Amino acid sequence: MDRWIGMLIVLTIAAFFALAVIEISIQNEDRLMVATTTSLYDTGLLDVITEQYQTVYGSNLYFLALGSGQSLEHAKRGDADVVLVHAPELENKFLSENIGGARKIIAYNFFAIVGPGDDPAEIENMSPLEAFQKIARTGETWISRGDNSGTHTKEKSLWQAAGLEIERLTDESWYLESGSGMGATLQIANERRAYTLADIGTCLKYRHENLIDLKILVNEGRELLNVYSVMAVNAENHPYLNFQKAVQFIKFLISDEGQGIIGEFGVIDYGRPLFYPAVQLLKENTNPQLASWIREYAFFDNSECPPQYRLGQDELYA
Amino acid sequence: MSEQLFDLVVRSLWISGTALLFSLLWSVPISLTLGLRKFKGRQVLISIFNALLGIPTVALGLTLYLLFSRGGALGFLGVLYTPTAIVIGQALLITPIVVSLLTSAIESVNPGIRDLAKTLGASERQASLAVLGEARKGGILAGVAAFNRAVAELGIALMVGGNIAGTTRVMTTEIARGVATGEMLLSIQLTGVLLLVVFGLTFLTNLFRRD
């Protein structure tokens, strides 16, 4: 036999065999692709959720930690079954374009304005909007995420509410864009002795691990409210999507078990929860003021998901 | 070595090794054609492969992402965010390396070898095999250089692999993630292993080439 052909055949078999081994080692058919905001992933919360979810349902959860803006973009292209995000403005658009639906609010916490311990702009304990105005007035260095993530979206809306134009800010010498995730941005702010807006979860984790010594200067006020929700991607546009599994995952997150995991996460390590469960709060109005803040900030047409966007999953809203 | 570290190292080496095997499938015939046959446009083709040596991984990563995405031209394959996607990307990435290095190795083989083989009654194919045998040292260098580039690249693995834990997370993507999430220890260990692999392979090749 021709040695050439023999060699080619052996090489081909070896190549495809090697590929098959790695593909088979990760059972593909049973995967749920979750595009998620980085804060839920980087804090480790989703690892705990995965562990529990896998023991109950046996399904594999695959996470793409992308940031809210990018996660929704991935969903739009049909590259994810479920999205976990914290950017109500973007979510509203996502629903109205019929890209996804069955939205449930699962958790909340508050963003934090963090900065150097000596606080050169003297913003500690100010209201969020005053703090933003003061930073702009004193020209102390500010690091923006600049990546269209949920935190970046929030930051832009805060500058606007504080009466500053975001287009002009980007020209200022004290206003820098990191273009990176929350962790990297915190580290840059730490090195540059600068201020930044952070989700409290990532911030506490970084402080706990002594990666940053930035101080949490402002962490109260309804303007800093941070609401996390989950949505299933509409399978009408992308028939191969695993819609049933997506709904199953949403049900798990809003179940007592899922909400319990969210509320307990971080208490042992950080002495306080990083995220607060939102389902019972909204259903039973256990804290009327907070509930009304969440409704005003993250509801559309007085609903977490108006009926036309529920994708036939009305039972989620009973 | 922790289990997590071990898994990442094995997966990384396996994916990049598979990419090298695929790349050889087409790179060896291309190199033999470019190295042995005289045809119009040959120099242009060689120049193109040389130019592609420096292709940025993010450029290839983005192109493949757009192709493999469900909204893209090859979306129906469903390979985005699977190890297969990384294998394809890395195989393409290293093709210019294999082709450029192997072609010049073949070119530098004494043309007499091929003529001699033919005089002794070898067919064209058998003669080219004899040349390939003579060029094996250059060939091994090409393979090692290509593998090193594949195993050390980040852009493709991140963009078409998605850095999913347990399936497409490889050494480089975990190093980057570890730095971003503050888990430095694993990143530092992985960087050590990565350097060991890259330098170790080159060192072994040099030992082999000396004899």
Please list every residue in chain B whose beta carbon sits closer than 8 Å to the beta carbon of residue A180. 180
For residue B211, pLDDT over 60 is answered with no
- Cα gap A263→A150, rounded to integer Å: 21
- At B210, the pLDDT band (50, 70, 90 cuts) reads low
User: Mutate which of A41, A62, A180, A269 to disrupt the B interface (most B C-beta within 10 Å)?
Assistant: A62
Check CB contact of B179 with chain A, cutoff 8 Å: yes
Please list every residue in chain A whose beta carbon sits closer than 8 Å to the beta carbon of residue B75. 78
The three-state secondary structure class of A257 is: helix
Residue type, position B196, single letter:
L
Residue type, position A203, single letter:
C
- Mean pLDDT over B64-84 rounds to 91
Q: What was the ipTM of the complex prediction? A: 0.80
Q: Which domains does chain A have, with CATH numbers?
A: 28-109+225-317 (3.40.190.10), 126-224 (3.40.190.10)
- Mean pLDDT over B150-157 rounds to 96
For residue B158, pLDDT over 70 is answered with yes
For residue B165, pLDDT over 90 is answered with no
Check CB contact of B14 with chain A, cutoff 8 Å: yes
Q: Is A214 left (phi over 0), alpha (psi -120 to 50) or beta?
A: beta
- Cα gap A90→A118, rounded to integer Å: 36
| Pairing outcome for strands A175-177 and A225-233 | unpaired
Tell me which fold the domain B14-170 belongs to.
MetI-like fold (1.10.3720)
- Cα gap A212→B12, rounded to integer Å: 31
Decide if B113 contacts B169 (C-beta within 8 A). no
Is residue A167 exposed (0-12), middle (13-18) or buried (19+ Cβ within 10 Å)?
exposed
State the average pLDDT for chain B.
91
User: Mutate which of B125, B181, B184, B186 to disrupt the A interface (most A C-beta within 10 Å)?
Assistant: B181
B162 vs A64: CB contact, 8 Å cut-off?
yes
Residue type, position A175, single letter:
Y
Residue type, position A23, single letter:
E
Q: B128 to chain A: nearest residue by CA?
A: A4
Q: What is the pLDDT of residues B78-106, one digit of tens each?
A: 899 999 999 999 999 999 999 999 999 99
A11 vs B83: CB contact, 8 Å cut-off?
no
Please list every residue in chain A whose beta carbon sits closer than 8 Å to the beta carbon of residue B22. 15, 19
- Identify the pLDDT of residue A257: 95
Domain boundary assignment for chain B:
14-170
Tell me the average confidence (pLDDT) per consecutive run of 10 residues in chain A, 318 residues long: 79 89 73 90 91 88 90 92 94 94 96 96 94 95 92 94 91 92 90 95 90 93 95 91 93 96 93 93 92 95 94 91
CB atoms within 10 A of CB A154: 23
- Give me A9's structure tokens: 């055949």
User: pTM of this prediction?
Assistant: 0.86
The DSSP code for A251 is H
A21 vs B70: CB contact, 8 Å cut-off?
no
- Identify the pLDDT of residue A27: 60
B35 vs chain A: nearest CA distance in angstroms? 17
